[in-house]
Amino acid sequence: MFLLRKNSLPAARCAALLLGLLLSGSVFAQRSNRAAMQKLVDDDLHFAVDQYKLMMRELPPDKLPRTYDSVKQKLETVGSRAWVSGFYPGTLWYLYEYTKDAALKTEAEKRTALLAPEQYYKGTHDLGFMLYCSYGNGYRLTGDKAYKQVLLNAAQSLSTRFNPVVGCIKSWDHGSWTFPVIIDNMMNLELLCEASVMKGDDAYRKIAETHANTTLRNHFRPDFSTFHVVDYDPKTGKVLQKKTAQGYADGSAWARGQSWGLYGYTMMYRETKDKRYLSQAEHIAAFLLNHPRLPEDGIPYWDYDAPDIPHAYRDVSAGAIMASALLELSTFEKKKKTAATYRQAAEKILTSLSSDRYRCTPGTYGGFLLKHSVGGLPGNVEVDVPLSYADYYFIEALMRYKKWFLK
């Protein structure tokens, strides 16, 4: 605090000097944070390249990674029909974009090609995860027309699952459900939106918008948390039940589901510029960032209502998805303070994920990047393990940060 003497500088000059000092301090802090984030992003991406080259050597030629078995000390793999099949090639495409390393491109092309048969598969809603993460990134970086055709065929296959009476794409064909729609399905709408652009008509985009509108009406609670599963009557469109399959309880806030919703509506605003979607994303972000049970480091518990908090498992996949979504949402936010809040929350998450607590030690876990994800705790499926989609959205968030905030 400055104390003015009788013959000291005029008050106006002193106030201006103080303001200048504060502003210069603010600029210094911003530059310091930028330098710290530049170092963190580059360190993480270099680490990811080394890890995925390790995974390349250990992965069977006709398989794709899902997780890592620490007891058997080996990769657990899947074929092309698994919903997670597109994440490994998608991550490779991002790492190739970062490095321009020909070996990464060759591996990305090889693993992407494994998914080609799924462009005609009509038995899943997950074609966006499977083919847009892989072929979509490949097409974005190479412009290969063969990749474009795969994406168009995949969009056509996905569109066959749309029921105009319900106004949604059916998620599952298994279980005791009638016409189940899960919040995860919001992520597959990007394939439809982009296919409409490629094709030059809006038929697929209209399906995506109808699904998003129906989900907005029926999936969300007054506090903007989301149910996991909404089951519909396909003949009338009536909601039959609102349940969960992977969360703690039907009425709880399953962490990855909340992140899917945030990402999905942010993406739909990008694709359509419909302000309802932006508003929904902002409300979901507020629910998450102001949640009393969001840990200080920004990495969610597997369910925000898990009864054993603070001893509940964390889910780094939910954190990575949330970070990527918040970064994009910050670019759409008109209020500078709110945009900064989103960006800083994402920075906190990325900083936490880069720590020894969550990031794998180099040379371990078969090349995976992040520990401590939860696939489905109620079914004891993939609990507290690395997962391919956690890696994918972690790398996506890092690439977004580098492209948008470190120019």
Catalytic residue chosen out of the listed positions 44, 126, 303, 315: 126
Could you tell me which residues are beta bridge partners of residue 344? none
Q: Is the Cβ–Cβ distance between 108 and 89 less than 8 Å?
A: yes
Catalytic residue chosen out of the listed positions 184, 231, 303, 315: 184
Task: Give Cα separations from 350 to 110, 131, 208, 239 (angstroms).
Answer: 30, 26, 30, 38
Residue 184 bears catalytic tag: yes
**Residues 291, 247: Cα–Cα separation, whole Å:** 17
- HEC string of the chain equals CCCCCCCCCCHHHHHHHHHHHHHHHHHHHHHHHHHHHHHHHHHHHHHHHHHHHHHHHHCCCCCEEEEEECCCCEEEEECCCCCCCCHHHHHHHHHHHHHCCHHHHHHHHHHHHCCHHHHHCCCCCCHHHHHHHHHHHHHHHHCCHHHHHHHHHHHHHHHCCEECCCCEECCCCCCCCCCEEEHHHHHHHHHHHHHHHHHCCCHHHHHHHHHHHHHHHHCECCCCCECCEEEECCCCCCEEEEECCCCCCCCCCEHHHHHHHHHHHHHHHHHHCCHHHHHHHHHHHHHHHCCCCCCCCCCCECECCCCCCCCCCECHHHHHHHHHHHHHHHHHCCCHHHHHHHHHHHHHHHHHHCCCCCECCCCCHHHCCECCEEEECCCCEEEEECCHHHHHHHHHHHHHHHHHHCC
Angle between helices 275-289 and 203-218 (to 10 degrees): 40
Burial, 72: exposed, middle or buried (Cβ in 10 Å; 0-12, 13-18, 19+)? exposed
**Residues 230, 177: Cα–Cα separation, whole Å:** 9
Structure tokens at 407: 């120019």
Give me Rg for the CA atoms of the chain: 23
Residues carrying an active site annotation: 126, 184
